[in-house]
């Protein structure tokens, strides 16, 4: 058995450089292809595009998804699980009908499909009420069986298009933001995989197991569950990308990256708007990107550089505070003249 002492990193070890190299070098060998998640009819980015998305901490991933595990009663019954999936999946107006613009008359026509309405468990009256609430004050409405006629008060073509777009995405039922929900069997239990995320609303549902809901949206995890959960999410997502490409990177390097991104209590990106652009040293900031901007700002405010990092010491040609450079030796001078006397 390896002793704990042997597992520890030596003092002064350049862990940052080692981690950067260990993640960056395999990262250059990643393929740009995407991986198809079973059941969700959307291509989910993996490989380099996803890794870039993680370190940039994009507000919304290109393809957000959730894995929703259900309570015991629903997890083993496929019909009950399907019922929960139907409850979760968002139904917008464009799913139950067609929104047609008539630019000549400056009107909008909403042609509802009775069969789709029946399948979704909605009535034309309910849709009319939702439309009325969604565009109140902006449009004059008139209902005719399964058709709704809308006459915008603003007569410009731009305003008509704006109202059309608003009507098309109008939320009717389900959870907003989740446009697809699919049942997947995992061993003996069923779980729901969704296209789109809404962690807060899903966690309010009694049918789901709140302790096992997962989303690939790191910013949403930070907002809802806190910084520790966001750190774990970064580690999980980055490791998943590397493992999927069969790149054997030690998890400690990924953990160090996640720690650096989360150390200030908020998730920061690695680029010029995050870690690199907010370093304490002026020279370290200038060495990365936007050199002139950083130097001018520092000169205007009279900023000082204490030269405690690696980059700034390399620039001015001093020993760097890493490895043997962390040790400072002092030598006591002997007064030879006294000895001679």
Q: What average pLDDT does range 307-330 have in this prediction?
A: 88
Topology match between the domains 23-61+217-262 and 91-173 = no
DSSP letter for 276, please: G
pLDDT at 32: 58
- At the topology level, CATH places domain 23-61+217-262 in PTS-regulatory domain, PRD (1.10.1790)
> Which parts of the chain fold into alpha helices (H)?
4-7, 15-27, 47-55, 72-75, 78-88, 93-96, 114-120, 124-134, 157-168, 199-203, 218-225, 227-244, 251-262, 282-288, 291-301, 310-316, 336-340
Q: Is the pLDDT of residue 150 over 60?
A: yes
CATH code linked to domain 91-173: 3.30.1360.140
Give the DSSP H/E element, type plus range, for residue 98: strand 97-102
Question: Does pLDDT of 58 surpass 60?
Answer: yes
pLDDT digits (tens, 9 = 90+) for 118-147: 777 777 777 778 877 877 767 777 777 777
Cα separation, 70 vs 191, whole angstroms: 6
Dist CA 120 CA 95 (whole Å)? 10
pLDDT in tens, 228-272: 999 999 999 999 988 888 888 999 999 999 999 999 999 999 988
d(C-alpha 335, C-alpha 338), whole Å: 6
Q: Where are the domains of the chain?
A: 23-61+217-262, 65-89+177-215, 91-173
Pairing of strands 65-70, 189-195: antiparallel
- Can you read off the two tokens belonging to residue 256? 């160090």
In the predicted model, is pLDDT for residue 40 greater than 70? no
Predicted pLDDT of residue 41: 43
Q: Look at residue 234 in the predicted model and tell me its pLDDT.
A: 95
Question: Rounded distance, CA 228 to CA 204, Å?
Answer: 21
Q: Rounded to whole angstroms, how far apart are CA atoms 210 and 200? A: 10
Query: How many whole angstroms separate alpha carbon 43 and alpha carbon 61?
Result: 12
Phi and psi at 97, nearest 5°, equal -170, 180
């Amino acid at each position: 058995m390896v002793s704990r002492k042997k597992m520890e990193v030596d003092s002064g070890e350049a862990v940052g450089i080692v981690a950067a190299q260990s993640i960056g070098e395999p990262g250059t060998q990643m393929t740009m292809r995407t991986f198809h998640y079973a059941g969700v009819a959307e291509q989910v980015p993996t490989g380099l595009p996803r890794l870039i998305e993680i370190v940039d901490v994009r507000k919304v991933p290109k393809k957000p998804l959730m894995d929703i595990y259900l309570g015991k009663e629903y997890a083993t019954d496929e019909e009950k699980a399907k019922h929960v999936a139907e409850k979760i999946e968002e139904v917008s107006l464009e799913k139950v009908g067609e929104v047609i613009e008539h630019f000549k008359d400056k009107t909008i026509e909403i042609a509802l499909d009775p069969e789709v309405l029946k399948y979704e468990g909605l009535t034309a009256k309910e849709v009319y009420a939702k439309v009325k609430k969604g565009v109140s004050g902006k449009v004059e409405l008139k209902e005719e069986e399964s058709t709704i006629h809308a006459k915008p008060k603003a007569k410009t073509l731009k305003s008509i298009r704006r109202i059309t777009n608003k009507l098309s995405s109008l939320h009717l039922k389900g959870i907003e933001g989740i446009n697809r929900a699919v049942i997947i069997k995992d061993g003996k239990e069923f779980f729901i995989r969704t296209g789109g995320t809404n962690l807060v609303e899903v966690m309010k549902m009694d049918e789901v197991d709140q302790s096992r809901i997962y989303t690939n949206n790191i910013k949403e995890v930070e907002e809802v569950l806190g910084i520790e959960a966001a750190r774990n999410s970064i580690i999980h997502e980055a490791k998943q990308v590397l493992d999927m490409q069969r790149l054997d990177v030690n998890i400690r390097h990924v953990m160090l990256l996640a720690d650096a991104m989360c150390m200030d209590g908020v998730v920061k990106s690695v680029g010029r708007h995050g870690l690199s652009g907010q370093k304490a040293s002026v020279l370290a900031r200038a060495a990365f990107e936007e050199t002139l901007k950083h130097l001018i700002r520092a000169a205007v405010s009279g900023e000082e550089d204490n030269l405690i990092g690696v980059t700034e010491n390399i620039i001015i040609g001093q020993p760097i505070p890493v490895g043997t450079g962390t040790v400072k030796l002092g030598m006591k001078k002997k007064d030879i003249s006294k000895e001679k006397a």
